[in-house]
Structures are given as structure tokens and as C-alpha cells.
Structure 1
């Protein structure tokens, strides 16, 4: 999103996200602009993709993605994450745990997802945080488990520095 010393603020879909977190300097954030023909690619399980943080400038193929969960405050963070993961792909070994995103209570899931390219299982991770400003999801995925492992420190940095902007 920006340098690790400056929490990012990303303008997306004509509104400013009310969350921030740090990212490695070479990762690049961009808002998700959705062509109506392909809207289903940016909407999964009641969540809408708001921005992507691209790892390619840092030498990896993959993204961190920020999603906003529709009805998240109504159905709860865990239920929102479960609905999202139900549509995320062919998942196995899904494990949920309570955790923290910065100082905020959160739910995290780790899983194996069948790669669309190779058919092989690859690791994935998702974090959901319910706030007064909405319910936000952060997902990490790569082309394979090796890419996932290389990008995991960026996800952990985002998770540990997650904050709500006032």
C-alpha cells in the first residue's frame, strides 16, 4: 500500500476505506474497478472486493485483497467469513481461530485451495474483522504454496498493524 512507516489510505469506489495497515514498500495497492460483465469475479459470498495489493513489484505472483462484507454487521464476522469461503473455491482443511488484527478481535481461517492452474492444493488465508464501519476481509493467495509462503510475511505485517481510522 505504501511504505511500512506510513499506514495506507486507499481511495476506492468513490469512498475512503476506514481501515489502514502497513505493507512492504514494493507492494502496490490499487482500487478494484469492475467491468459489469465480470462483476461476479469481485463478489463472493456476500463480499465485494475493494482493493488489491499486488506482490509482483516485490517479485511474487499474488495478491492481498481487501473485501467488504455485505450484511457483515447483521450476520456476524464468523458467518460472513464462512459464507465467503463457501464460494472462494474448492477448499479443504479449513481451520478457523480467534485472533487479533492489530488490537481488534478477529477471526482467521487457513485452508488449502485447489489451484485453477495446476489442480494442486495451495495454501490460503483469510482474516475477517467486524467494526462499526463495516466488516472487512483480508485474503492472501498465490499461484502455489511456495508463493504463499513467500508472501505470508506481508500478510502478517498487515494483520499486526491493522487499525480503524477515525
Structure 2
């Protein structure tokens, strides 16, 4: 199983998630000029992050606290990063998560490169193979995108994975898309692409 997002699929399905937040529609205000709609990552949203982006309709966002990370033990780290926010696809009809990871040490330290961060992040995966890295634009940000596969010996299958790494003045951030299996991963890719397209830095 994957270190966090895949491991948490079964665990989080079994537990009810409290305090989540779903995004997708704008708010009212017919007579007043609408304020810019907040994106996930901005202050006042479910997860306050170094980056912000548009969350796909019906997906549910849940911040991961430091106390939760501490309870997770080794599962609470991947390379120099720890999970900061889990975006659950179940309300949208899929099984899987888009996880936001962040950190400030090692390859994630401010001033580093997104490529070095991505290499270290993927290297911490179990049973990773067929890694492909490419430099891309995510919103207006320079980023490194990775696609690779992860073997799950217990399930006897190989699953595709996708991740996007960016550097900010607050350290490195990786958006990672897993999925219960290849079909679920494929169905959730539009949410990953939406996050990538709308990515920006929070103030």
C-alpha cells in the first residue's frame, strides 16, 4: 500500500471525517459586487496552505494536523514532506485522495528546486517504478510533474500515481493523486488537472 494516501483509503473510509469542506459553487450576492472566490489553501478554507487551487466539485477537504501526523508515525512522512491536507473523492463518487504534502527541510527547503524535491518524494515510495519527470507550468508557477506506478503485492496489482511539485518561499509542496486502482485513478485525473491549472501562491 502507498505510504499515506493509499494506506488512508481503508482507514478513512472506516472513520467519519469531521469538519471537512466541499467546494465547487460560488456564493450569492446579486446586488453586491462579488468578492473573489476563495480557493482551497486560502485563509478561511478547510486547509490553509502555501499554495491555493480550485477543488473539484463535491470533493471534501480535511486539514491534517501535526497531532495526526505524529500519531501516524512513519506513515506521516514521505521524504522531507508531511501531509497537510487530504482531499477525499468519495463524495464525488470515487475512491481515492488528492493529498497535499509540504515541508521546509532537505530538498523541500526554500531556494531548492521542484525537480530535486520530486525525486526525493518519489524515492520514498514503496515499490515505485516507471518514473517519468517533466517540467511544466502549474497555473503561473514552474513545477515538476511525475507519473509512475506503484506495485501493491498484497493486492497483486500495479497502480498508476501522479504528483506535482512546486517550491514556495515557505518551502516545498507536492500534490499527489493516488486511487484505489487504475480505474479510480483515471476517473480522478480531471480533479488533479484542475488543481494543476488553477495553482497559485497564497499571500
Q: TM-score, normalization: structure 1? A: 0.89
Q: After the TM superposition, which residues 128-143 of structure 1 pair with which residues of structure 2 at under 5 Å, given as runs?
A: 128-143=165-180
Structure 1 counterpart SS, 2:178: strand
Between Structure 1 and Structure 2, the one with more strand by share is 1
Partner of 1:97: 134
Alignment length, in residue pairs?
Answer: 163
1:89 Cα deviation from its structure 2 partner:
1.9
TM-score of the aligned structures, taking structure 2 as reference length:
0.74
After superposition, the Cα gap between the structure-2 partners of 1:4 and 1:113, relative to the gap in structure 1 and judged at 3 Å, is: farther
Q: Provide the C-alpha distance between the structure 2 equivalents of 1:153 and 1:43, rounded to a whole number of angstroms.
A: 26
Q: From the superposition, tell whether residues 4 and 99 of structure 1 become closer, same or farther in structure 2 (CA, over 3 Å).
A: farther
Larger radius of gyration: 2
**1:30 is aligned to 2:62:** yes
Query: Would you identify which runs of 4 or more consecutive aligned residues in structure 1 move more than 4 Å?
Result: none
**Residue of structure 1 in register with 2:185 after alignment:** 148
Q: Contact conserved, 1:47 with 1:69, CA < 8 A, in 2?
A: yes
Matched, 1:77 2:114: yes
Q: Answer yes or no: is 1:127 the counterpart of 2:139.
A: no
The alignment's C-alpha RMSD in Å is 1.8
Counterpart Cα distance in 2 of 1:114 and 1:130: 28
- Give the unaligned 5+ runs of structure 2: 1-21, 27-36
